[in-house]
Chains A and B, each alone.
Chain A
Amino acid sequence: METGRLTMEEFQLVNKTDGLTISSKKKNVKESKAAEASIANCKVEIIRMDPFEMEIDFIGFNISLVNAYRRIILAEVPTMAIEKVYMYNNTSIVQDEVLAHRLGLVPLKVDPRYFEFRNKEETEWGAQDSVKYSLNVRCSKNPKAAADETNPDILYLNRKVMSSSLKWIPLGNQTDIFQEANMQPLHQDILLAKMNSGHEINLEAFAVKGIGSDHAKFQPGLAWYRLLPEIELTREVEGEQADLLQKCFSPGVIDVVTTPGVFVESHSALKSYEILEEAVNIMIGKCSLLLAETDKLIESSAPS
């Protein structure tokens, strides 16, 4: 796509990227060539990247495609999260449903690509679509504490229930495929509940694969983008006014062509670049599905 210019005038935004205003170089080019030429102009540059966060520049792309990736990352890239909790014993002050809700929000390290989506009518928990966890904690008085100890964390054992207490229970043949270290919650220090002496929590939780548009707990991460601005001064600015102008902007106002910068933040089992790749895969999947449908439509209307 030709580098679009999104211009900010005094009272409106002017977007010069529709087909009617293609620059003269491309006006006489045939359809297929235009598509190839536009692909050739596009570049992708990673500014910085680690498994949790990445910043990437899409140069020469149309904003609608970048927005589509952002929407897919937020709503349609699948993750695993706890969905059903079987509460066997809960004498703590945290109510059953509140505890279950908190469990659902705990991010899990489980890679969703190894699992299938689960049918809503299904009653059995199979090895190919669910992961089982159990939480069994009892709070008791610490026999080793000093007589005049006032710190409740030392007075009682297991006062705080953290996400490290979630134990993975393999179903079926899951022991052959997964290692225990990869099935834990992403962070071991998430506080789930607090208890006092004599309280006990005993539950079993099942995690399934889901997408962000179903429930926010299935969101694999965050993604946001912005356009890199090019600031053109409409008149000469000199002397004191120039200094004032420079102070209005962040230090180092540079002249850059309009390029969307995309930020992807991951808090799931997938690394940040894997999330982006999954998003593109999903987009390709949508196109293929529709292509098959259009083919059907063309064939059905061909004899007419």
Chain B
Amino acid sequence: MPVGADGFRLPNVNESQFKNKLECLTGPGQNEHCCTFVINGEDHTLGNALKHFIVQNPAVEFCGYTVPHPMERKIHIRIQTWDTPAVEVLHQALKDLKKQNEAVKKLIQDEVKRYQEAHPQQDLEK
């Protein structure tokens, strides 16, 4: 087991050591419409953005995310809907987030091209 200088186990950067990326918690408060998803290996970066997209969905009664403990890299996303399955809401939000990101990428690329044409610069040999 790789151990870092301070004695803590080093997380392997390019390998996921957890079994599932996405899981559903089970228990009394969970059913098809109210579900808490556990996403392993993610933090506020994805959680906050995803939560915002889920909340914009009018079919959602409640949505929140939390990082249960800062030393464990996982997030819990709780979705409560009136009558749509929670998984579908998550799926739709992820699709929207992906679409938004691809649009941003295109915007940035176009803007960079436009700026470079408008301001021809000496090519700094980096």
Contact = CB atoms under 8 A, between A and B. Distances in A.
Interface of A: 1, 18-19, 22, 31, 34-35, 38-39, 42-46, 49-51, 56, 61-62, 64-65, 67-68, 71-72, 75-76, 109, 117, 119-120, 181, 210-211, 213-214, 269, 271, 273, 276-277, 280-281, 283-284, 286-291, 293-298, 301
A42 B2 contact: no
Nearest to B122: A50
B126 A277 contact: no
Interface string B23-67: 010000000000000010011111011011001111110000000
B87 A298 contact: yes
Interface of A is mostly: helix
A44 B94 contact: no
Interface string B83-122: 0000110111011111111111101110110111001010
Nearest to A291: B94
B71 interface: no
A71 B44 contact: yes
Nearest to A62: B52
Contact of A277 (B45, B95, B108): B108
A43 B87 contact: no
A35 B2 contact: no
A153 to B, nearest CB: 29
A72 B97 CA distance: 15
B58 A42 contact: no
Interface of B: 2, 10, 12-15, 20-22, 24, 39, 42-46, 48-49, 51-52, 55-60, 87-88, 90-92, 94-105, 107-109, 111-112, 114-116, 119, 121, 124-126
B48 A67 contact: yes
A297 B24 contact: yes
A280 B91 contact: no
Contact of A284 (B12, B59, B105): B105
B54 to A, nearest CB: 9
B48 A214 contact: no
A120 B2 contact: yes
B95 A291 contact: yes
Contact of A287 (B52, B98, B104): B98
Contact of B100 (A19, A65, A72, A294): A65
Contacts of B90: 294
A22 B14 CA distance: 40
B39 A68 contact: no
Contact of A280 (B10, B52, B108): B108
B88 to A, nearest CB: 7
Contacts of B116: 49
Contact of B102 (A61, A68, A284): A284
A46 B112 contact: yes
18 contacts: A19-B58, A38-B56, A39-B103, A42-B103, A42-B107, A44-B107, A46-B115, A64-B49, A65-B100, A68-B46, A117-B14, A213-B13, A273-B108, A273-B112, A283-B46, A283-B101, A287-B97, A297-B22
Nearest to A294: B91
Given A281-B105, A297-B87, A290 B39 contact: yes
B57 A19 contact: yes
Contacts of A49: 112, 115-116, 119
Contacts of B108: 44, 56, 273, 276-277, 280
Q: Which 5 residue pairs of A and B lie closest in terms of their CB atoms, listed nearest first? A: A287-B98, A293-B22, A117-B14, A64-B48, A44-B107
A293 B16 CA distance: 14
A115 to B, nearest CB: 12
